[in-house]
Structure 1
Amino acid sequence: MTNKAILVSFLAILAIALTLNTVVAATNSTGFVDITGVNINGVSASTTTPAVAGEVSDTVPVEVFFVANQDVSDVKVKVSIEGYKDDISASTPRFHVVNGSEYVKRFSIQLPSSMDLDNLKEGLSVHVEISAKELDSVDADYAVEMQRDLYSLNILSVDGPDKTSAGSTVALDVVLQNNGNSRMDNTYVKASIPELGVERTVYFGDLSPSEEETYDNIRDANNKVLYLSIPRNAIPGTYNVIVEAYNYDASTTVKQKLVIEGTQSGVLPTITSKAIAVGEETTFDLVLVNPNSRMVVYSIVPETVQGLTVQASEPIVTIGADSSKTVQVKVKATSSAQEGTHLITVNVNSESGLEKKVDFTVNVEKTSTSTSNVTGVTSGSNTVLILTVILVIIFVVLLIVLIVLLTKRPAETEEFGETSYY
């Protein structure tokens, strides 16, 4: 009797277990697919523990295995990591699944960077979602334990100008952080422009993963300014500025663009045409303007002209910031100069090369222009003298006539009256 009761109890328990298993199986199969497994970076992932270890900024493969419970179209699989500054996700195009078939979809995602982690280690979830049109999605979260590198440096920012000019100085404000798990001693930052052969290195000191209470001067980040002097003869164009942070254990590099513009200048000729005779000399004024915030050096180079001697009063001219200066270009017609118009070209150069070509014209005449002017003045003077003499003579004659008329006494008139007889 006792044995029979025990057997009945055992059968009852087995029936209950089978019923529960059927219910659970039915519950797990309510979706149009079942997720049978997820591998992250080649490791089987779990929704709880143990978590898959992840290193900052690593790009890892993700594999999603699932079984279809019915025929469905427009199916899409998506994996994502949420809760960070940048969205991390990947998805498949829409596809069709057949009931009872097993599928695997593969992705590559980049894990968060060290800048996204608040602590030396941090847990996150990789969310897997399988969706279809007009059906409930099937999803699950899989655990990943993030950790920083043992030794790692991160250049948080490099602030500097995008444009500059040759001969100027560029200031780069660099912020460096220790985003590893260990203290970084004796860190340096080097900024360079390889195409110009320019570089500068600055000592940044010791950096700790977190602020150390024992040493006030050791922090997890530091910033300093590096100054790069651009050569005066730098050719205008776009250059790479490379900033490298390093110590004995680690290094990192960032790159940014710098545009070097040509020197701004103004070359203003005044009078551009004159006439001279053989053997005579004349000058042209050339105004040089420097609108830059630094000193600029100009060179004045006249081109050779047959029969003419051309030279600048100052072949090398130094002009301060926001200033101007006038330079004279002297032109002399030698005895071999031919009569006619001659073109004179003057090249104005700065540190960055040719700034402007200035053209003057000189008309060479056989007769001296000054002699012609004197002859004309002399002829004019003689005419004025003759007219003056004539006017003086007329004035004298008129004056004599007036004097004569004033000094002549009028004749006495005879009076005729009645004769008286006594």
Structure 2
Amino acid sequence: MKNKAFLVSFIALFAVALAMTTVAAVDFVDVTDVEVDSISIALDNVGNNIAGSVSQTVPVVVKFTALSDASDVKIRTYIEGFKSEISDETSRFRIVDGNTYVKRFTLELPSSLDLDELTEEELMLLVRFSARGLDSQEVEVPVSVEKNQYSLNLLSIDRNEVVEAGSRLAVDVVIENNGAERLDNVYVRATIPGLGISQKVYVGDLENNRDAFDDDINDARERRIYLTLPRDAPAGNYDLEIEAYNHDTSVTTNTRVVVRGVDTRILPPVTAKTIAPGQETVFDIVLVNPSERLVVYTITPGDSKGLFVEATEPIVTVSGDSSRATGIKVRASNSLEEGTYLISVNVHSETGLSEQISFTVNVEKAGSKTTNVVSGTDGKPNTVVVLTVILVIIFVVLLIILIVLLTKRPEESEELGETNYY
């Protein structure tokens, strides 16, 4: 009897557990229709798949009737198996038994890059319902993603983000045929609209898929485009536009490039000199070009009363990563009065550099106390005076040596005798 009672109790417990499981598994909504891109599964009698194109954004409409009251209901539509998440979902809401609801979603179908080897794929669109305290339920909708007949894709664009005005910008582009048909005579073009420069190169013919056994049959190619920036290009940020095209299709993408001016330097080693009326002198200017390209400078001296000022080289070219010295020649008129005179020199380059340098000229007559007696009439050292000073110094040194020798007494020699002891 005890065994029978135990068996009856076990069967009753199992029946209760089964009943609870059955109740928990009961659907709380009845999905009446799912529309993908305006195609209704219920009304349009879809037998196979709903067709869509790669990267297409499609609307999804879900219609359902509540079979019971539920709270914290959420609906999520998604496609699994891709690196980029493809999903859309509602916020939490409440449903009432017997009422019919409509929820709308937007999904972007996988791109050709997401599909394996760019083949057409059959996917499954999943619609999942969840609610607090209830088991989730899910509806599957088959979707077929098809490639466009003619389509190009820019897989990568590589370039230096910062370039100097006047230099060459190299742009490496990888172009791919991700359509269903072969594309002939494909070109790729790079343009900086803000600078008015553009260049294109020939890519060739692109197949719609890659042949693993023949390297000549390829669906992607890499090309390099060179853009020469103007020397006077203003510094700033510019749009770089890349376009791949042929007579059937085209694709365009934009990126950015920063153009900076050439960081040149103008250095005057000496900014002040003294001359007499009628004399001339030369001020040196060092032009430094740390950039990688050649820079052209224009030197324009300003006017100064009583002084004749000119550049020894009005136009100077300095190669990349180097420096060069040039001069400003200044001559005082014979009637120029003593005093201090200011000279201004303007230096310009085609890179946009503009700098003004100031020099000071002190004019003193030859008889002035402050005149350098060692200098000649042309401001250079007087050779005769210098030689005279050197000879005087040598004579004084020799005289001192002679006096020392004459005043020195000879040392008395000490005779050493031999003593014998007997």
Q: Give the aligned partner of residue 362 of structure 1.
A: 361
TM-score by length of 1: 0.76
Aligned mates of 1:129, 1:362 — CA distance in 2: 90
Residue type of the alignment partner of 1:265: T
1:274 to 1:51, Cα distance in 2 relative to 1, 3 A: same
Q: Which residue does 2:254 correspond to in 1? A: 255
Question: 2:149 & 2:375 partners in 1: Cα distance?
Answer: 98
Tell me the residue number matched to 1:315: 314
3-state SS of 2:353 partner: strand
Query: Does the CA-based 8 Å contact 1:49-1:143 persist in structure 2?
Result: no
SS of alignment partner, residue 114 of structure 1: coil
Deviation per residue, 1:312-343 (Å, 9 max, x gap): 21111111222111111222334686754443
RMSD over equivalenced CA pairs, Å: 3.2
Alignment correspondent of 2:289: 290
Structure 1 partner of 2:153: 154
The aligned residue for residue 173 of structure 1 is 172
Contact persistence 1:28–1:34 (CA under 8 A): no
Q: Which residue of 2 aligns with 1:39?
A: 35
The normalised TM-score by structure 2 is: 0.76
Amino acid at match of 1:110: E
Which residue in 1 is equivalent to 2:69? 71
Query: Relative to structure 1, is the Cα distance of residues 136 and 376 closer, same or farther in structure 2, using a 3 angstrom cutoff?
Result: closer
Residues 114 and 365 of structure 1: is their aligned pair in 2 closer, same or farther, counting only changes over 3 Å?
same
How has the CA–CA distance of structure 1 residues 375 and 259 changed in structure 2, closer, same or farther, with 3 Å as cutoff?
A: closer
Structure 2 residue aligned with 1:419: none
Q: Which is richer in helix?
A: 1
Deviation at 1:43, TM superposition (A): 0.7
- In the alignment, residue 39 of structure 1 is paired with which amino acid? E
What is the CA–CA distance in structure 2 between the aligned matches of 1:347 and 1:43, rounded to whole Å? Answer: 75
Cα distance in 2, alignment partners of residues 360 and 371 from structure 1: 20
Find the counterpart in structure 2 of residue 89 from structure 1: 87
Structure 2 unaligned residues grouped into runs of 5+: 1-18, 377-384, 393-398, 400-422
**AA aligned opposite 2:244:** A
Cα distance per residue 1:262-308 (max 9 Å; x no partner): 01212222112233344332222211111122222222222333443
1:206 deviates by 1.1
Q: Partner of 1:245 in structure 2?
A: 244
Q: Structure 1 residues 336, 155: CA separation in 2 closer, same or farther (over 3 Å shift)?
A: farther
Over the matched positions of the two proteins, sequence identity in percent amounts to 47
Give the secondary-structure state (helix, strand or coil) at the position aligned to 1:270.
Answer: coil
Residue type of the partner of 2:240?
Answer: V
Equivalent pair of 1:340/1:365 in contact (CA under 8 Å): yes
Would you say the 8 A contact 2:164–2:262 is kept in 1? yes
Number of positions where the alignment pairs a residue of Structure 1 with one of Structure 2: 358
Q: 1:376 to 1:89 in 2, by over 3 A?
A: closer
Q: Aligned pair in 2 of structure 1 residues 99, 318: CA closer, same or farther (>3 Å)?
A: same
* Aligned partner of residue 155 in structure 1, secondary structure: strand
* Aligned partners of 1:48 and 1:143 also within 8 Å: no
What amino acid does structure 2 have at the position aligned with 1:302?
P
Distance 1:72 1:362 in 2: 96
Query: Contact (CA 8 Å) 1:344, 1:360: kept in 2 or not?
Result: yes
What is the CA–CA distance in structure 1 between the aligned matches of 2:151 and 2:65, rounded to whole Å? 42
Distance 1:369 1:211, change over 3 A: farther
Question: Are the equivalent residues in 1 in contact too, given 2:364–2:371 (CA < 8 A)?
Answer: no
Q: Secondary structure at the match of 2:373?
A: helix
Q: How does 1:100-111 map to 2 (within 5 A)?
A: 100-111=98-109
Mean Cα deviation higher: 170-179 or 132-141: 132-141
Q: Which residue of 2 aligns with 1:227?
A: 226
| Deviation at residue 152 of structure 1 after TM alignment | 0.8
Alignment correspondent of 1:281:
280
Q: Which amino acid aligns with 2:102?
A: V
Q: 1:318 to 1:375 in 2, by over 3 A?
A: closer
The answer for the alignment partner of 2:403 in structure 1 is none
Comparing 238-247 and 268-277, the one that deviates more: 268-277
Contact 2:295–2:351 (CA<8 Å) still a contact in 1?
no
More moved, 188-197 vs 154-163: 188-197
The alignment partner of 2:113 has SS state of helix
Decide whether the 8 Å contact of 1:308 with 1:331 is kept in 2: yes
Match of 1:115 in 2: 113
Secondary structure of the corresponding residue to residue 63 of structure 2: strand
CA distance in 2, matches of 1:134, 1:355: 77
Aligned partner letter, 2:196: G
Aligned-partner Cα distance in 2 for 1:257–1:236: 13
* Whole-angstrom distance in 2 between the partners of 1:208 and 1:241: 27
Q: Which amino acid in 1 is paired with 2:99? A: S
CA change 1:280–1:54 in 2 (3 A) is same
* Cα contact 1:283–1:329 (8 A) shared by 2: yes
**1:292 is aligned with what amino acid?**
S
Letter of the 2:107 partner, please give it: I
> Do the aligned partners of residues 359 and 76 (structure 1) sit closer, same or farther apart at CA in structure 2, a change above 3 Å counting?
farther
CA-CA distance at 1:368 after TM superposition: 6.5
> Residues 369 and 112 from structure 1, CA distance in 2 versus in 1: closer, same or farther, beyond 3 angstroms?
farther
Q: Distance in 1 between matches of 2:111 and 2:210?
A: 20
Instruction: Quote the Cα distance in structure 1 between the aligned partners of 2:375 and 2:349.
Output: 46
Question: What whole-Å deviation, never above 9, does each CA across 1:364-389 have from its counterpart, x for those lacking one?
Answer: 44666698333999xxx9xxx9xx9x
Deviation at 1:106, TM superposition (A): 0.9
Preserved CA contact (<8 Å) 1:278 1:368: no
User: Is 55-64 or 355-364 further displaced after alignment?
Assistant: 355-364
Letter in 1 for 2:135: D
Q: Are 1:125 and 2:121 an aligned pair?
A: no
**Residue type at the aligned position of 1:62:** V
